[in-house]
A and B are shown apart, each in its own frame.
Chain A
Amino acid sequence: MKHLAKTRIILPALAATVIAGAVQAQEVLNVYNWSDYIAEDTIANFEAETGIKVTYDVYDSNEVLEAKMLAGSSGYDVVVPTGDFLARGREAGAYQDLDLARLGNYSSQDMQVQNFANNQIGVDNAGAVYMWGTTGIAYNAAMIEERLGADAPTDSWSLILDPQYASKLEDCGVVILDAPTDVLPNVIAYMGGDGTSTDARDFEAAGEILNAVQPHLRYIHSSQSINDIANGDICAAIMWSGDAFQAAYRAEEAENGHVIEYYIPKEGTNLWFDHFAIPADAKNLDNAYRFIDYMLRSDVAANNVNYVWYASGSEGAKPSIDPEILEHPGIYPTEEAKKNLFVVPVYDARLDRAVTRVWSRFSSGS
Chain B
Amino acid sequence: MAAARQWISRHGRRLVVALPLVWLLVFFLMPLVEVAQTSFTVARRGIPPFAPLWGFDEDGFFTNFNLENYSLLLDYWQDYIGPAGNSLRLAFVSTLICLLFAYPMAWWIARSNPRQRAILLVLVMLPFWTSSLLRIYALIGLLNPNGFINSMLIFLGVIDTPIRMMQTDFSIYMGMLLTYLPLMILPLYAVMIRLEDDLLDAAADLGASRVGVFVTIVLPLTVPGIVAGSLLVFIPAVGEFVIPALLGGPEQIMVGKVLWTEFFRNRDWPVASAIAMLLLAILALPIIYARYQDGRETALDRAEGQGGTS
Residues on A facing B (Cβ under 8 Å)? 61, 63-64, 66-67, 69-72, 88, 91-94, 173, 180, 214, 217-220, 224, 228, 231-233, 349, 352-353, 356-357, 359-361, 363-366
Instruction: Check A70–B47 contact: CB distance below 8 A.
Output: yes
Which residues of chain A come closer than 8 Å to B45, judged between CB atoms? Answer: 88, 91-92, 349
Q: Is B258 an interface residue (CB 8 A)?
A: yes
Which residues of chain B come closer than 8 Å to A217, judged between CB atoms? Answer: 249-250
Partner of B258 from the list A72, A92, A353, A360 (CB cut-off 8 Å) is A360
Partner of A70 from the list B79, B146, B267 (CB cut-off 8 Å) is B267
In the complex, residue of chain B having the shortest beta-carbon distance to the beta carbon of A228: B144
Shortest B205–chain A CB gap in Å is 58
Given A70-B48, A92-B49, A364-B83, answer yes or no on A357-B250 (Cβ-Cβ < 8 Å). no
Report, as a range, how many residues of chain B touch the other chain.
Answer: 20 to 34
Instruction: Check B47–A94 contact: CB distance below 8 A.
Output: yes
Which residues of chain A come closer than 8 Å to B248, judged between CB atoms? Answer: 219
Shortest A92–chain B CB gap in Å is 4
Shortest A95–chain B CB gap in Å is 11
**Binary interface profile of B, 238-277, with partner A (CB < 8 Å = 1, else 0)?**
0000000010111101000010010111111000000000
Q: Which of B68-86 contact A (CB under 8 A)?
A: 76, 78-79, 82-83
Given A217-B250, A364-B82, A366-B82, answer yes or no on A64-B264 (Cβ-Cβ < 8 Å). yes
Shortest A16–chain B CB gap in Å is 34
Residues on B facing A (Cβ under 8 Å)? 43, 45-49, 76, 78-79, 82-83, 144-146, 167, 246, 248-251, 253, 258, 261, 263-268
In the complex, residue of chain A having the shortest beta-carbon distance to the beta carbon of B147: A233
In whole angstroms, how far apart are the Cα atoms of A161 and B144 in the complex? 25
Instruction: Check B144–A233 contact: CB distance below 8 A.
Output: yes
Instruction: Check B47–A363 contact: CB distance below 8 A.
Output: no
In the complex, residue of chain B having the shortest beta-carbon distance to the beta carbon of A69: B47
Task: List 22 contacting pairs A-B, 8 Å CB cutoff, sorted by A.
Answer: A66-B267, A69-B47, A71-B47, A72-B48, A88-B267, A92-B47, A92-B49, A180-B265, A214-B250, A217-B249, A220-B250, A231-B146, A352-B266, A353-B266, A359-B265, A360-B258, A363-B250, A364-B83, A364-B250, A364-B253, A366-B78, A366-B79
In the complex, residue of chain A having the shortest beta-carbon distance to the beta carbon of B253: A364
Instruction: Check A365–B79 contact: CB distance below 8 A.
Output: no
Which residues of chain A come closer than 8 Å to B261, judged between CB atoms? Answer: 356, 360
Instruction: Check B47–A219 contact: CB distance below 8 A.
Output: no
Given A72-B48, A92-B46, answer yes or no on A365-B250 (Cβ-Cβ < 8 Å). yes
Shortest B293–chain A CB gap in Å is 36
Which residues of chain A come closer than 8 Å to B145, judged between CB atoms? Answer: 173, 233
Given A219-B167, A356-B261, answer yes or no on A72-B253 (Cβ-Cβ < 8 Å). no
In whole angstroms, how far apart are the Cα atoms of A355 and B266 in the complex? 9
Partner of A352 from the list B47, B48, B79, B267 (CB cut-off 8 Å) is B267
Q: Please name 4 further chain A to chain B contacts, defined as beta carbons within 8 Å, in addition to the given A219-B249, A220-B250, sorted by A numbering.
A: A92-B46, A93-B46, A217-B249, A217-B250
Shortest A261–chain B CB gap in Å is 20
Instruction: Check A66–B79 contact: CB distance below 8 A.
Output: no
In whole angstroms, how far apart are the Cα atoms of A224 and B248 in the complex? 12
Which residues of chain A come closer than 8 Å to B46, judged between CB atoms? Answer: 70, 92-93
Which residues of chain B come closer than 8 Å to A361, judged between CB atoms? Answer: 79
Partner of B146 from the list A69, A180, A232, A353 (CB cut-off 8 Å) is A232
In whole angstroms, how far apart are the Cα atoms of A357 and B75 in the complex? 13
In whole angstroms, how far apart are the Cα atoms of A72 and B46 in the complex? 10
Q: Which of B167, B250, B268 gathers most chain A CB within 10 Å?
A: B250
In whole angstroms, how far apart are the Cα atoms of A199 and B49 in the complex? 25
Instruction: Check A219–B48 contact: CB distance below 8 A.
Output: no
Closest 9 CB pairs of A and B: A63-B264, A92-B45, A364-B253, A72-B47, A219-B249, A70-B49, A365-B250, A92-B46, A356-B266
Instruction: Check A363–B253 contact: CB distance below 8 A.
Output: yes
In the complex, residue of chain B having the shortest beta-carbon distance to the beta carbon of A214: B250
Which residues of chain A come closer than 8 Å to B76, judged between CB atoms? Answer: 357
In whole angstroms, how far apart are the Cα atoms of A72 and B83 in the complex? 31
In whole angstroms, how far apart are the Cα atoms of A307 and B248 in the complex? 32
Shortest A227–chain B CB gap in Å is 9
Instruction: Check B79–A360 contact: CB distance below 8 A.
Output: yes
Instruction: Check A218–B249 contact: CB distance below 8 A.
Output: yes
In whole angstroms, how far apart are the Cα atoms of A69 and B49 in the complex? 10
In whole angstroms, how far apart are the Cα atoms of A357 and B248 in the complex? 20
In the complex, residue of chain A having the shortest beta-carbon distance to the beta carbon of B262: A356
In the complex, residue of chain A having the shortest beta-carbon distance to the beta carbon of B265: A356
Q: Which of B79, B82, B249, B265 gathers most chain A CB within 10 Å?
A: B265
Which residues of chain B come closer than 8 Å to A353, judged between CB atoms? Answer: 266, 268
In the complex, residue of chain A having the shortest beta-carbon distance to the beta carbon of B248: A219
In the complex, residue of chain A having the shortest beta-carbon distance to the beta carbon of B144: A233
Shortest B74–chain A CB gap in Å is 15
Which residues of chain B come closer than 8 Å to A232, judged between CB atoms? Answer: 146
Q: Which of B45, B78, B146 gathers most chain A CB within 10 Å?
A: B45
